[in-house]
Amino acid sequence: MSGTRACRAVVTGAVQGVGFRYFTQREADRLGLSGWVRNLPDGSVEVYAEGEESTVRLLLNSLAHGPNWADVENVEEHWTEPSGNQKGFRVTY
């Protein structure tokens, strides 16, 4: 699929314990992206998303704002080629 990309993003700020992972899953599902989201031990949240680059960028824009209870400080992006083995979007632990 032309334009398919993957991005690993690390979101910092007050992003754990505020529904951030489930917000991310809902947004990714709405956009038709594949991948996963998980909390990291340092209090940040890691997101891996695959899909059309423009659609992944829409997700990143949503992550920069987060749900109402979150206070996002930064979204660090790392673009890569997609693995192609992601099915759906899930919350992992």
Please give the positions annotated as active site: 21, 39
Per DSSP, 88 falls in state S
User: The tokens 């529904």 sit on which residue?
Assistant: 19
- Beta strands 34-39 and 89-91, pairing class: parallel
**Which one-letter amino acid corresponds to residue 58?**
L
**What span, in angstroms and rounded, lies between the C-alpha atoms of 63 and 92?**
17
